[in-house]
Amino acid sequence: MINRLYLIEASGTNPTENLALESVLMDQVNFHEMILYLWQNDNTVVIGRNQNVRKECRLNEIKRDGVHLVRRSSGGGAVYHDLGNLNFTFLTDDENYSEERQSQIICNALRKLGIEAECTGRNDILCQGKKFSGNAYYHHNGKSYQHGTLLIHSDLSKMPVYLQPDPEKYKARGVDSVRSRVTNLADVKPGLTIDQVRTALIQACEEEYGVSAEMYSRPDVDVLAQRTAKFASPEWIYGQELPFDTSCEKRFPWGSIRLEFRVEHGIVTHVSVWSDSMEPDIIDVIPELLQGSLFQSEELCKRLSVKDHPIYRDLCELLKEQV
């Protein structure tokens, strides 16, 4: 049974700081307490705990547009967040944790706003057969959380720009994202605002647990800073980069070429080249040049710049386009 219900809202829209706060709340929540944490990330791709970053994300586009890229602690697939989306997290101990009950709170909140949603237990929450809330879960040290998105007036055109469209492009171990038909709640209920949803959620939560929500005091600044550093570290975001195989190919005036890469922990460990070019001397040394490089177009191009040759210049363009 839940004796105390707490509410805390993120102080900003930085995804790294927001994930860090969530993680600290998980450590701090006591038995028989429920913390409802509400937060928004601006312009952010969030990948699941066990996903391969390159397999899921179009890193060049993410970098080009200054999109944040973060990894959460829970499972599941990659999503895009902006300020048209509201995130919620229910944090409690394992005993009081109930996905059924927590999802029902979401449905009850929406009903207050005149929206009929379907809660299907552990699955996503749907409205008129389309997903507007993706949920994921984390169980650690006797505590659990369920968190999810609520698409209210999110820019749905961004997702395909930053998430990998071709699951066949990278062959790797790791959890695959599942594509779903999504909808914004403001399309179901025109004029719906984030604030209305926030207020309804808090009310529905109080009704479900039969207690009034108290404000949760913000955790210690140093503890938050340390946790933020963990979520910001390349080891956390990319370090789980599991080995993968990928390829790129193109036809040029001098012939066509296909490069196949084996990448382990971000480093090219093996390259195979197929080409009908009439310059084998130039082609045959490519694996030697590229093996050992970081798997980034800039680094790969630097390796190819040892010799100023038109084929290498074309290859560099190809790598910039496709890596």
Partner 1 sequence: MKTPEELKYAKTHEWVRFISDTEVEVGLSDFAQDQLGDLVFVNLPDVDAEAVEGEAICDVESVKAVSDVNAPVSGTVTEVNEALLDAPETINSDPYGAWLFRLANVTDTENLLDAEAYIKFCEEEAH
Dist. CA 20–CA 32, nearest whole Å: 23
Which residue is listed with tokens 């999810």? 148
Contacts of 313 (CB under 8 A, 6+ apart): none
Q: Indicate whether 179 belongs to the interface with partner 1 (CB under 8 A).
A: no
Which residue is listed with tokens 């049974």? 1
Q: Indicate whether 217 belongs to the interface with partner 1 (CB under 8 A).
A: no
Taking the complex as a whole, the smallest distance from the CB of residue 76 to partner 1 amounts, in Å, to 4
- List 17, 25, 40, 48, residue binding partner 1 (CB under 8 A): 48
Taking the complex as a whole, the smallest distance from the CB of residue 138 to partner 1 amounts, in Å, to 5
Taking the complex as a whole, the smallest distance from the CB of residue 99 to partner 1 amounts, in Å, to 9
Q: Binders of partner 1: how many residues, by CB under 8 A?
A: 19
Q: Which is nearer to partner 1, 51 or 297 (CB)?
A: 51
Angle at 247 between CA 242 and CA 253, to 5 degrees: 160
Q: Indicate whether 140 belongs to the interface with partner 1 (CB under 8 A).
A: yes
Taking the complex as a whole, the smallest distance from the CB of residue 74 to partner 1 amounts, in Å, to 6
Taking the complex as a whole, the smallest distance from the CB of residue 75 to partner 1 amounts, in Å, to 4
* Chain center to CA of 108: 27
Q: Which of residues 54-113 bind partner 1 (CB under 8 A)?
A: 73-77
Residues present in the chain in total: 323
Contacts of 195 (CB under 8 A, 6+ apart): none
* Number of Cβ within a 10 Å radius of residue 126: 18
Q: Indicate whether 139 belongs to the interface with partner 1 (CB under 8 A).
A: yes
Piece in contact with partner 1 (CB under 8 A), picked from 131-139, 249-257, 262-270, 277-285: 131-139
Angle at 193 between CA 190 and CA 198, to 5 degrees: 135
Buried b (16+ CB within 10 A) or exposed e, 38-72: bbbbebbbbbbeebbbbbbbbbeebeeeebbbbbb
Q: Indicate whether 297 belongs to the interface with partner 1 (CB under 8 A).
A: no
Piece in contact with partner 1 (CB under 8 A), picked from 136-144, 157-165, 201-209, 302-310: 136-144
- List 83, 113, 159, 175, residue binding partner 1 (CB under 8 A): 175
Q: Indicate whether 136 belongs to the interface with partner 1 (CB under 8 A).
A: yes
Asked if 142 contacts 94 with a C-beta cutoff of 8 angstroms, the reply is: yes
Q: Indicate whether 141 belongs to the interface with partner 1 (CB under 8 A).
A: yes
106 φ, ψ to 5°?
A: -60, -45
Q: Which is nearer to partner 1, 175 or 237 (CB)?
A: 175
- List 13, 50, 196, 322, residue binding partner 1 (CB under 8 A): 50
Q: Indicate whether 122 belongs to the interface with partner 1 (CB under 8 A).
A: yes
- List 8, 152, 174, 303, residue binding partner 1 (CB under 8 A): 174
| Nearest residue to 55 (alpha-carbon basis) of 184, 173, 200 | 173
Piece in contact with partner 1 (CB under 8 A), picked from 149-157, 167-175, 189-197, 266-274: 167-175
Query: Which residue intervals of the chain are DSSP H helices?
Result: 15-28, 53-56, 59-64, 99-112, 159-162, 185-188, 194-209, 221-232, 234-237, 280-284, 286-290, 297-304, 310-322
Footprint of partner 1 on this chain (CB under 8 A)?
48-50, 73-77, 122, 135-141, 173-175
